[in-house]
Structure 1
């Protein structure tokens, strides 16, 4: 079937819409209904090469990297204005292809990335130190050396995004790449390409020079072409740690810079004096937000043994009240998983949890009455040991685990006993103790008593350990797409 939307779902290469060369189109399915909502051309490696070559020409020969930052910022603001004008369309597409409930589709999925774009153009770029003078240095027998430090665009960037937050994650790469003066090829996840393809319309409306941003589709073959192409200087990837390792290895022979935003198994620590109401809301959000499909969601609740049973009872009751169903229904508070394969993975891990002896408190099955769509009940395990598979493996689904602890030291040890280090949280009436624990947690971001950098563009987003390399958002994200050059001269 043809796309049901008003915008073109073709590829966007060198400023033009074009069909892909793949033999079969990509079918985009609504995960809540399993219906095909659009057909998108599939890219072949030849299509991807064409996009990379267009980006290379735009960077090497075009005006974009040589424009003043204020000129680039003006283009980005025009993109933001066009996005704001078409937000209702973005929301509708997000609900259809990603399965977001409306409240999430209208905020984190769409409005927040536009806010980040405006912040980059209005706050970060005008204040950024694009050039900085070096203090003169006297070298005996040589003379006085002085000069400037320049921040220059890294080059051609391959931007590979994930399926869970399609527009948000794509824009978190597109924004700093364009702000830096880079040229880019964006490849969204094959299951959720529509919102990313729509970015081509925004680029046209803003007057972005041809070739600066290119958008292709595809899966493994297209991604491999991007990560290995000799004309690509930088790869930014969001996805699983398993695929992240492959991306890292594929980029190594040509020594590309690699930015990785990968998985998480983040710890939500509740001390004996913590606010249980707030902690339960936090744990509930970690399990049910976008059906648990978020790398930084808090899915391991570490709770002091003195309040363990009370927290489990409260959280179980809160999960029982969650309304699971079609995101198009205003009463729905949790939607589906993205695909049948993801639902199968989550169900197998739930089975492993039961087999390993964890106590299934609630959920664990498919919701009654939902015969179509990739739904799983909000699920909670208690009596969990941190060595269990379900305490160490990222579900990427609506499943939380509760682990008891006796002391702060034990809680920090359990929190850090994970291959991941993306996010974390501490709940305590003693804010100094909470801050001390936060400082010892090996994670890229830790919230205290519900305070969260959340969607603040002034925050730095990224992880420790196998949660990734580099940072995104604001000036921290911009910095990843820049090289530092020293230009010096002798003063005689």
Structure 2
């Protein structure tokens, strides 16, 4: 099919493009139109093993782990420059394969990960304590013990990404892995492989040594091969908590290090003195951003009972103004879900909510007139108890719930009464009270009155409880891909 952009549809193994050994292919379709975008090779297990072996050779024998951090940073900056040159392609592919509306495609999906890459090379790597001296210690009768603490690359990394933010999520793994001096095999989600396959072009343009970064496709079998392969030292996975537990179990047999960025059912606490305009905008974003396909989106709105009805009325009005449709149309403000299967899951959960007694005040069905594409109306439930399925299960779709509370104590209890702990928010004119509440929310990140602008690379991203293990972004992400070695000697 003819497109207005270019992309690479081959695997990337040991510095070369290849169709692989399998005759099977992955079909990539536009979720808004259901049209064919591309067919890419389906990696065989042989392809995956070749990629792991290439990464192992590149780590054990190649120059990458032994380069100075400044030398690796220079390569990463060249990658960033090539990404910036190819941003129009990245944006176009993202709109087509992931269904992002253009403002999202041009920001979080593409420009933000490039900014994170530059931040790693320009700020984090030069200032990072790659080696530091230990304080000399006197050992009576033996001498003076002294030495250094070294931070060294963990090894070969399996990086398994998700479909909702394909380039962003892949880069949040590739950036720290390469910065640390690791080598890697990246496997994007089968529904959205194109943006991740493009990273191979950027690696070539930057002069990344062969085998340092390899990109394969596939689903369950490919993932299992990566999580169990004896040559893999670390596994980083983004996806559902259900699959995350499987990844964790598979990696446990060989005691691989595991970093997991999983799901969420994040709560926004709106106190009686809150700026309702801001709180409503935040709640709208939690429901409609990328059609609700975001793990850290705020999908539980906990609102003080005195302003409950006003917030619901404003939020319903805001949802009515959302224009659902093809994200290629500039007038569209919310695009499709990724697949028919995902829409079916969302619809089933909506029916469960009705059966449990919750009330739909907006949406709840497929938009009229959109017969092609995986679209859903943005949906809002009230009359929700936190014990209901729809208050505890991640929809990964454009659905939000509103739950009233009477006291701050009750709000915190409701927010924490969840198997997840990825994100949270507090809205209040009393910033001292808001900070106290935020400190009690068991989540990896909490914003107050909307937080700071953008996705700050100086922040640490990750969750508590079943939202995952470890942290991503900046120096916190880099730390996950490093081992600590003690080198000591005695001075007599």
Query: How would you bin the TM-score normalised by the shorter chain?
Result: over 0.9
1:446–1:452 CA contact under 8 A, matched in 2: no
Q: In 2, Cα distance between the equivalents of 1:368 and 1:455? A: 35
Q: In 2, Cα distance between the equivalents of 1:425 and 1:6? A: 40
Q: In 1, Cα distance between the equivalents of 2:21 and 2:405? A: 56
1:2–1:39 CA contact under 8 A, matched in 2: no
Structure 2: tracts of 5 or more residues without a match: none
- Which residue of 2 is the match for residue 448 of structure 1? 448
* Deviation (angstroms), 1:4: 7.6
1:68 aligns with 2:68: yes
* Deviation (angstroms), 1:25: 0.8
3-state SS in 2 of match to 1:254: coil
Q: In 2, Cα distance between the equivalents of 1:398 and 1:283? A: 11
3-state SS in 1 of match to 2:365: coil
- Which residue of 2 is the match for residue 196 of structure 1? 196
3-state SS in 2 of match to 1:148: strand
- Which residue of 1 is the match for residue 159 of structure 2? 159
* Deviation (angstroms), 1:21: 2.4
Provide, for residues 171-226 of structure 1, a one-character-per-residue CA deviation record: whole Å limited to 9, x for no partner. Answer: 00000000000000000000000000000000000000000000000000000000
Structure 1: tracts of 5 or more residues without a match: none
1:3–1:38 CA contact under 8 A, matched in 2: no
Counting only pairs closer than 5 Å after superposition, residues 353-432 of structure 1 correspond to structure 2 as: 353-432=353-432
* Deviation (angstroms), 1:62: 0.2
* Deviation (angstroms), 1:6: 2.8
2:145–2:490 CA contact under 8 A, matched in 1: yes
Runs of 4+ residues over 3 Å off in structure 1: 1-5
- Which residue of 2 is the match for residue 262 of structure 1? 262
Q: In 2, Cα distance between the equivalents of 1:484 and 1:57? A: 22
- Which residue of 2 is the match for residue 217 of structure 1? 217
Q: In 2, Cα distance between the equivalents of 1:7 and 1:338? A: 20
Q: In 2, Cα distance between the equivalents of 1:473 and 1:51? A: 25
* Deviation (angstroms), 1:385: 0.2
Q: In 1, Cα distance between the equivalents of 2:189 and 2:2? A: 19
Q: In 1, Cα distance between the equivalents of 2:2 and 2:324? A: 30
Provide, for residues 244-272 of structure 1, a one-character-per-residue CA deviation record: whole Å limited to 9, x for no partner. Answer: 00000000010000000000000010000
Counting only pairs closer than 5 Å after superposition, residues 447-486 of structure 1 correspond to structure 2 as: 447-452=447-452, 454-486=454-486
- Which residue of 1 is the match for residue 59 of structure 2? 59
- Which residue of 1 is the match for residue 123 of structure 2? 123
Provide, for residues 33-87 of structure 1, a one-character-per-residue CA deviation record: whole Å limited to 9, x for no partner. Answer: 0011001000011110000000000000000000000000000000000000000
1:169 aligns with 2:169: yes
1:334 aligns with 2:334: yes
- Which residue of 2 is the match for residue 313 of structure 1? 313
Provide, for residues 408-430 of structure 1, a one-character-per-residue CA deviation record: whole Å limited to 9, x for no partner. Answer: 00000000000000000000011
Provide, for residues 323-353 of structure 1, a one-character-per-residue CA deviation record: whole Å limited to 9, x for no partner. Answer: 0000000000000000000000000000000
- Which residue of 2 is the match for residue 250 of structure 1? 250
* Deviation (angstroms), 1:8: 2.4
2:8–2:194 CA contact under 8 A, matched in 1: no
1:3–1:39 CA contact under 8 A, matched in 2: no
- Which residue of 1 is the match for residue 34 of structure 2? 34
2:55–2:156 CA contact under 8 A, matched in 1: yes
Q: In 1, Cα distance between the equivalents of 2:59 and 2:48? A: 17
1:453–1:459 CA contact under 8 A, matched in 2: no
- Which residue of 2 is the match for residue 136 of structure 1? 136
* Deviation (angstroms), 1:454: 4.4
2:7–2:194 CA contact under 8 A, matched in 1: no
3-state SS in 1 of match to 2:49: helix
* Deviation (angstroms), 1:24: 1.9
* Deviation (angstroms), 1:20: 2.4
**Count, aligned residues:** 492
Provide, for residues 417-467 of structure 1, a one-character-per-residue CA deviation record: whole Å limited to 9, x for no partner. Answer: 000000000000110100000000000000001114741000000000000
